[in-house]
């Protein structure tokens, strides 16, 4: 017998006050539950910039869905009803702009991943040659996240409305300043007066978000049905831990009382952001590349290997000296807590999921730390090994010769460069990832490590470095 479909409860649902670009699993497992806890008229309109799949799955359930927490104490399910609608931008970009131009929307947030910012990862600047940006400069109905933000702010200005606050929730250094810079550069190319208005009146708070959210599988959907007795076409799965740190700088102070749900409202996110990007995301990427090369499917499996566990600890010994701890934070205790989270086998966070879009992630997660170590004259072989493992990963096969699913906006070019006569030199020549100075400084040790990975393998190489 088929379980009944999940449907919204009978209570009145909140009015929309928030719009989110990219309503994928992460924000539905992180931001929406927090906004539901906060309460008030902060219902959310989601906007998918690419696919109708999430809208099509959730619309028959009234956009309600199950958030399944998996931790040491067993699974717990909660129904999230904060999402009011999902618009699909390619189907009707005008409807998206109209929703964003509505003065009732006071915050527009985004989780579009690094590649959604249409920027050069090495410099953080807008990439004017990106196909979507070229389109958005020429056409009033945009395709990209920066394009929708810029055109919607233009509509608000033309109508005499206040701007909305733009709240990036992606794992990027100084994400508020990054999206502000991209939007201002795009706006200046469209209308310099618009750019001046956004610069003077807009707000782009920086944030740090942290919760492990693996991709939902058919097995997860079946597990939710068994646990709740209801069929949910699009549940999300997450770990118990969550942390959201936000710069308290919103247009006219218009924001939900996020503190009620434990969000840390601060004057400066930078130290929290650097800690998380380097210590969590950096070691996640390390486990993803070394783990996938050595045949480990999930983070929990990879970190259970004693060598990869020791290598992760070694990597923190290189990372921690580059950081200024956030107020009241013990970085050694933070590393121990991260290891405990990685050990949670109930969360099947696939190494290949984390390895996706490496060309966009590497500058933020690894290369900045590497540069800081080199500038300090300090040893950085662990960080260099992660870069070398990425270079081996983009070659497309693991150490047993099995194909690796390479998902990256530069996938074709990466494969071609990884198969060049000198793959290290070829990949270091990719200026959207490596600037010329850093490339020159790391070429020799990286060539050696790349050769060691190819001949001795990820585990043996990691074991030598972690001794």
Shared-domain flag, residues 253 and 286: no
Average pLDDT for consecutive 10-residue bins of the chain (467 residues)? Answer: 72 90 98 96 97 97 98 94 98 98 98 95 93 97 98 98 98 95 98 98 98 96 96 98 98 98 96 97 98 97 98 98 95 97 95 96 96 98 98 96 95 97 98 96 98 98 97
| CA distance linking residue 286 with residue 301, whole number of Å | 14
Shared-domain flag, residues 42 and 152: yes
pTM flag (> 0.85): yes
Range of the domain at 259: 16-266
How many domains is the chain partitioned into structurally? 2
Q: Exposed, middle or buried by CB within 10 Å (0-12, 13-18, 19+), for 270?
A: middle
CB 114, CB 46: distance < 8 Å: no
- Helix, strand, or coil (residue 102): coil
Task: Provide CB contacts within 8 A for 333, sequence distance 6+.
Answer: none
DSSP string, 218-248: HHHHHHHHHHHSSB-SS-EEE-S--EEEEES
CB 106, CB 20: distance < 8 Å: no
End-to-end alpha-carbon separation of the chain, Å? 56
Shared-domain flag, residues 285 and 262: no
Quote the pLDDT of residue 216: 96
Shared-domain flag, residues 39 and 182: yes
The reply to whether 4 falls in a domain is no
| CA distance linking residue 222 with residue 271, whole number of Å | 40
Shared-domain flag, residues 128 and 24: yes
Shared-domain flag, residues 39 and 160: yes
CB 241, CB 212: distance < 8 Å: yes
The reply to whether 7 falls in a domain is no
The helix (run of H) or strand (run of E) holding residue 158 is: helix 145-159
Crossing angle, helix 381-393 and helix 282-293, to 10 degrees? 50
How far is the CA of 3 from the CAs of 9, 61, 378, 425, in angstroms?
17, 13, 59, 56
| CA distance linking residue 134 with residue 118, whole number of Å | 10
In this structure, the number of other CB atoms found within 10 A of the CB of residue 41 comes to 12
The reply to whether 369 falls in a domain is yes
* Selection from 70, 27, 31 nearest residue 262 by Cα: 31
The reply to whether 10 falls in a domain is no
CATH of the domain at 179: 3.40.50.720
Shared-domain flag, residues 57 and 124: yes
CATH of the domain at 393: 1.10.1040.10
| CA distance linking residue 467 with residue 458, whole number of Å | 14
* Selection from 206, 159, 210, 207 nearest residue 180 by Cα: 206
Question: Among residues 204, 234, 266, which one ends one of the domains?
Answer: 266
CB 358, CB 284: distance < 8 Å: no
The reply to whether 132 falls in a domain is yes
Shared-domain flag, residues 212 and 76: yes
| CA distance linking residue 226 with residue 36, whole number of Å | 24
Question: Among residues 224, 251, 266, which one ends one of the domains?
Answer: 266
Shared-domain flag, residues 120 and 51: yes
Shared-domain flag, residues 194 and 318: no
The reply to whether 8 falls in a domain is no
Shared-domain flag, residues 231 and 323: no
Quote the pLDDT of residue 4: 84
The reply to whether 338 falls in a domain is yes
Quote the pLDDT of residue 11: 64
Question: Among residues 209, 232, 266, which one ends one of the domains?
Answer: 266
* Selection from 359, 405, 285 nearest residue 120 by Cα: 359
| CA distance linking residue 131 with residue 137, whole number of Å | 10
Task: Provide CB contacts within 8 A for 171, sequence distance 6+.
Answer: 114, 209, 276, 277, 281, 361, 364, 365
Q: What are phi and psi of 164, to 5 degrees?
A: -85, 160
* Selection from 159, 160, 157, 143 nearest residue 198 by Cα: 157
Shared-domain flag, residues 403 and 363: yes
């Amino acid at each position: 017998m088929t379980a009944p479909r999940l449907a919204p409860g009978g209570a009145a649902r909140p009015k929309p006050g928030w719009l989110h670009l990219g309503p994928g699993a992460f924000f539905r497992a992180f931001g929406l539950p927090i906004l539901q806890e906060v309460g008030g008229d902060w219902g959310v309109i989601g906007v998918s910039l690419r696919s109708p799949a999430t809208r099509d799955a959730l619309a028959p359930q009234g956009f309600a869905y199950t958030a399944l927490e998996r931790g040491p104490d067993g699974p717990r399910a909660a129904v999230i009803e904060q999402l009011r609608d999902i618009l699909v931008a390619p189907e009707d970009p005008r409807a998206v702009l109209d929703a964003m131009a509505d003065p009732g929307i006071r915050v527009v947030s985004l989780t579009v991943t690094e590649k959604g910012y249409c920027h050069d990862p090495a410099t953080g600047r807008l990439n004017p040659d990106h196909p979507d940006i070229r389109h958005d400069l020429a056409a009033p109905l945009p395709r990209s996240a920066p394009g929708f933000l810029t055109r919607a702010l233009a509509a608000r200005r033309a109508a005499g409305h206040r701007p909305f606050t733009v709240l990036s929730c992606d794992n990027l250094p100084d994400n508020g300043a990054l999206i502000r810079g991209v939007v201002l550069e795009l706006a200046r190319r469209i209308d310099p007066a618009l750019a001046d208005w956004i610069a003077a009146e807009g707000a782009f708070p920086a944030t740090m978000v942290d919760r492990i959210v693996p991709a939902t599988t058919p097995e997860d959907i079946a597990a939710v049905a068994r646990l709740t007795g209801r069929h949910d076409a699009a549940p999300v799965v997450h770990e118990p831990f969550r942390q959201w740190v936000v710069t308290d700088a919103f247009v006219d102070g218009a924001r939900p009382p996020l503190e009620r749900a434990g969000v840390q409202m601060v004057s400066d996110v930078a130290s929290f952001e650097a800690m998380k990007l380097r210590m969590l995301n950096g070691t996640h990427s390390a486990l993803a590349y070394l783990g996938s090369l050595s045949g480990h499917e999930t983070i929990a499996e990879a970190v259970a290997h004693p060598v990869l566990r020791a290598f992760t600890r070694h990597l923190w010994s290189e990372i921690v000296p580059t950081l200024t701890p956030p107020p009241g934070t013990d970085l050694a205790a933070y590393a121990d807590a991260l290891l405990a989270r990685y050990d949670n086998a109930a969360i099947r966070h696939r190494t290949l999921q984390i390895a996706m879009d490496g060309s966009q992630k590497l500058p933020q997660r690894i290369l900045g730390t590497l540069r800081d170590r080199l500038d300090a004259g300090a040893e950085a072989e662990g960080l260099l090994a992660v870069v070398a493992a990425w270079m081996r990963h983009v070659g497309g096969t693991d150490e047993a010769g099995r194909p690796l699913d390479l998902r990256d906006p530069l996938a074709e070019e990466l494969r071609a460069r990884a198969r060049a006569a000198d793959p290290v030199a070829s990949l270091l020549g990719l200026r959207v990832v490596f600037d010329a100075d850093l490339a020159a400084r790391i070429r020799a040790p990286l060539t050696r490590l790349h050769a060691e990975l190819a001949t001795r393998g990820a585990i043996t190489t990691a074991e030598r470095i972690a001794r």
